[in-house]
A and B are shown apart, each in its own frame.
Chain A
Amino acid sequence: MISCKAQEIKAPPKVMRSPRSVDIDLTSRCNLKCLYCYYFDNPSVSYKDLPAEEWLTFFEELGRLGVMEVCLAGGEPFMRLDLKELLEGIVRNRMRFNLLSNGSLIDDEIAEFIASTGRCNYIQISIDGYSPETHDACRGKGSFEKAVRGIRILQRHGVSVASRLTIHHFNVGKLDEITDFILNDLGLPGFGTNSAGYLGSCRKNAEDVQLSVKDRQKAMSTLLRLENEHPGRISAAAGPLAEARHWRRMEQARVRGDSTFPIGGSLTACGCPNQKIAVRSDGVIVPCNMLPHIALGRINVDSLQEIWLKSPEMMHMRLRHMIPLSEFDFCRGCSYIPYCTGNCPGLAFSITGKVDYPSPDSCLRKFLADGGSVP
């Protein structure tokens, strides 16, 4: 019966005619050198920028395809001196935008301009601490004051601000204070959480920066409590809070003997390749900015729609969910298989060198074997 249900759910997905959203690394430059940055120190990425004209031509293609929004990151997108021109191109082509930033380069002029477009969903500013000591530990001296100033400027101009807290070894003991700072002192409606993942620069700083099993356990229990104290204000798509929620559900299902989760039992991961695609700062189109080594083509040379609909690599990413976890030695005999998604393919590749592999980083069985417990 289990396999029948799984077959029914795991039919190849229908593909939209174009992506709804495109993640764009507008620049490969950044004014900070964060110890856990996923973007830098990736040998498969060519760290160079394109001129504005190339992006503007590409935005016209996105407009013709009916893409609804672009998420602009990098690097630090505010490093681009031509950012206004680029945002005008996005607006002209009937799209909305988000920006992911460290906040340090935001001034009144650009904030006023962004507000005037009426098309900004939000600007996400990274806040890792409630004081210079906690925030700057991984992000560099002076970055806290500048990030807070950037948020204040955006708020003054009525631009929606989101915040991302990346949890690491140096701030895991201060989550109560950081939560209080973001929600009360900064007055933000909520914030997202993640943790330093084994990607990019973090690979060479992993021992210092990444959460140990003990850290992770502490982060999960603290975040579950804080989530309870601040309902609906702390979110997570990955990292300790997401894992705590999912692992609890997995353990409950295992104890009850539930058959399977709808997206469990195979390499389902996030499902992003059905909704969006990404472009590196050098114009190379990739399935996701966590998989920058899979080059699908180049903007303004190759048709984005052709790549979206026909690229074998994109099709493979979409069909990846048909690969059962039971095929992997790593998963063999695991009682959590029916409830597990195999997690992020980007992390799986960074850790194991294979995209079609479960990510050991988010493996509940491994976490328990390493001394952790279900929160």
Chain B
Amino acid sequence: MDAISNGPVPNPVAVLREEFDDWAVLFNPDNAKALGINPTGVAVWKALNGSKEIPEIVSEIKDKFSNVPETVEKDISEFIEVLTRDGFVGYELAGNKG
């Protein structure tokens, strides 16, 4: 079995609708799932590129936001689990990398 990429990869069909007050809706047109996300969630989404593992994303969030809670790593892991469950992100098979 091929190894998978280091970090989660955003589904290219997913739509990020940035609404007002920096809140956003993530929408997956393939399964009609929609997820309301806060500004931290938006930053996490934008950080996903397949090469970043969760600790690196956490580090970026800590740099970007003040008063980041101690549970941030757990929170981001859970958020990415939800994104994975609803088809917003996946993991690329290493064998598929060009």
Contact = CB atoms under 8 A, between A and B. Distances in A.
Given A66-B15, A68-B27, A94-B15, A121 B20 contact: no
A18 B15 contact: no
B81 interface: no
Interface stretch (A9-17, A141-149, A197-205): A9-17
Interface stretch (B28-36, B64-72, B89-97): B28-36
Interface in A1-34: 14-18, 20
Contacts of A16: 17, 19-20
Contact of A14 (B18, B21, B30): B21
A119 B16 contact: no
B82 interface: no
A66 B29 contact: no
A162 B18 CA distance: 31
| Residue from B14, B19, B20, B29 having most chain A Cβ neighbours under 10 A | B29
Nearest to B12: A94
A95 B19 CA distance: 17
A17 B19 contact: yes
Interface string A86-124: 000001001110000000000000000000001101000
A119 B30 contact: yes
Contacts of B30: 118-119
A119 B18 contact: no
B32 A121 contact: yes
Contact of B17 (A15, A66, A96): A66
Nearest to A13: B20
B61 to A, nearest CB: 23
Contacts of A96: 29, 32
Contacts of A121: 32
B29 A17 contact: no
A17 B42 CA distance: 15
- Mostly helix, strand, loop or mixed at chain A's interface? loop
Contacts of B20: 14-17
Contacts of A66: 15-18, 27
Nearest to A90: B29
Nearest to B31: A118
B17 A18 contact: yes
Nearest to B19: A16
Interface string A313-327: 000000000000000
A257 B93 CA distance: 65
A121 B13 CA distance: 17
A94 B15 CA distance: 7
Given A119-B30, A121-B32, A68 B15 contact: yes
Contacts of B34: 68
Contacts of A118: 30
Contacts of B25: 20, 68
Nearest to A65: B17
A333 to B, nearest CB: 39
Contacts of B14: 94
Contacts of B18: 17, 66
Contacts of A15: 20
A94 B32 contact: no
A95 B29 contact: yes
Contacts of A17: 17-20
A68 B29 CA distance: 7
Contacts of B32: 96, 121
A14 B32 CA distance: 24
A66 to B, nearest CB: 4
B85 to A, nearest CB: 18
Nearest to B34: A68
A180 to B, nearest CB: 30
Interface of A: 14-18, 20, 66, 68, 91, 94-96, 118-119, 121
Q: Which 3 A-B pairs have the closest CB atoms?
A: A66-B17, A14-B20, A66-B15
Given A20-B17, A68-B27, 8 more contacts: A16-B19, A20-B25, A66-B17, A68-B29, A68-B34, A91-B29, A94-B14, A95-B29
15 contacts: A14-B21, A15-B20, A16-B17, A16-B19, A17-B19, A18-B17, A20-B25, A66-B18, A68-B15, A68-B34, A94-B14, A94-B29, A96-B32, A119-B29, A121-B32
